[in-house]
Amino acid sequence: MKGLILSGGKGTRMRPITHTAAKQLLPVANKPILYYGVEALIDAGIKEIGIIISPETGEDVKGCVGNGDRWGIRVEYILQAEPAGLAHAVKTAQDFLGDDPFVMYLGDNLIKDGVGPLVERFQKGSADAFILLKEVENPSSFGVAVLDEKGGIVVLEEKPAQPKSNLALVGVYLFNKEIHKAISLIKPSRRGELEITDAIQKLIDIGHKVDSHILRSWWLDTGKKDDMLEANRVVLDEMVDVNIAGSIDEGSRVSGRVAIGKGTQLKNCTVRGPAVIGEDCILENSYVGPFTSIGDRARVSFAEIEHCILREDCKITDFHGRIADSLIGVNVELTRGDNRPVAYRLMLGDDSKVEVV
């Protein structure tokens, strides 16, 4: 079985962050989201993975993931010139996939239990496709499945204005070679894309079996800032290892599940986990609260930070304020012009320089 990870698209919902970075490379608990998908496929026993990339961010993805040597697998990159739909991505990857069964994994999704049990069930069953479903509060934002009283799939709809159920298609799909025929029989949707929901519906229409499973554990689609922060919160909340590799002076206090990278210095700081701080950071006279991840080489002084993602090389200096529920990009410089205690919620793209007055 092969793996196909989708890491294309333009990430318009995450701008300005994605003006300079692929959304799949944004960090959750200081690890690129894309790595979670790669590792989920590896844990399921998959050793050949194709990654769909876009012209805009493809080179960044290649530079981050490499050829797969770090995991002992083979990675092949497949260029999708335009974001023309998930089914179009499968069509683009047909030469790589051949007639092999495969798992398609959306590169900006996170699933608690991985895909190993799903792969095993698919391989032992007789279905031509297997979809994962999850009850959601906003089904009109997703592909939606309607089931009969026995759990069979009646119909699939892509982002319906008036959903007939609250069961969303999770960003993991398992297919055999029959999906290629189904894709060849569908036409672009009203959005101008080849929808994977239409292809799966076509499988059903022409008599193929599609199995499904309703997911009870968490699934996270990191398409927006608040989704990213929630993913960071959930992953950090499941951290079990305390790893203090940096230096902590006598005036600092660290409590809870906290990871601090080597070369990092804490001076007169309080850190309350779960939290992760990268390597070669300097934090002074600051408070880092739960559900915060701070990237390598960050500098923070006189600031309170909680429920945030700070990327590499960011500098928050002499801030004298509180930052919460924020996503701050690479190499951002953030300062304040006064000492009044004020709280902020921010989303700042890479290389921004902001002085709050």
pLDDT per position as a tens digit, 77-131: 999 988 889 999 999 999 999 999 999 999 888 888 778 888 988 988 888 999 8
Residue 222: partners with Cβ closer than 8 Å, 6 or more residues away: 23, 26, 28, 33, 108, 109, 110, 228, 231
Give the Cα separation of 18 and 99 in Å (integer): 35
State CA 334 to chain mean position distance: 26
pLDDT value at 324 more than 70: yes
- Of 2.160.10.10, 3.40.50.720, 1.20.140.10, 2.60.15.10, which CATH number belongs to 239-356? 2.160.10.10
| Predicted TM-score (pTM) of this structure | 0.86
Q: How far is CA 48 from CA 1, 3, 98, 102, 202, in A?
A: 8, 6, 12, 10, 27
Domain ranges of the chain: 2-223, 239-356
Q: How far is CA 143 from CA 162, 166, 246, in A?
A: 12, 10, 45
Lowest-confidence pick of 120-124, 137-141, 321-325? 137-141
Residue type, 88: H
At 64 the three-state DSSP class reads helix
Three-state SS for 149-213 is: CCCCEEEEEECCCCCCCCEEEEEEEEECCHHHHHHHCCCCCCCCCCCHHHHHHHHHHCCCCEEEE
**6 and 89 Cβ atoms separated by less than 8 Å:** yes
Give the Cα separation of 263 and 281 in Å (integer): 7
Scanning the structure block, which residue is given the tokens 């002499």? 318
pLDDT per position as a tens digit, 232-267: 999 999 876 789 999 999 999 999 999 999 999 999
pLDDT per position as a tens digit, 161-185: 888 888 988 889 999 999 999 999 9
Residue type, 91: K
- Of 3.50.4.10, 3.90.550.10, 2.60.40.420, 3.40.50.720, which CATH number belongs to 2-223? 3.90.550.10
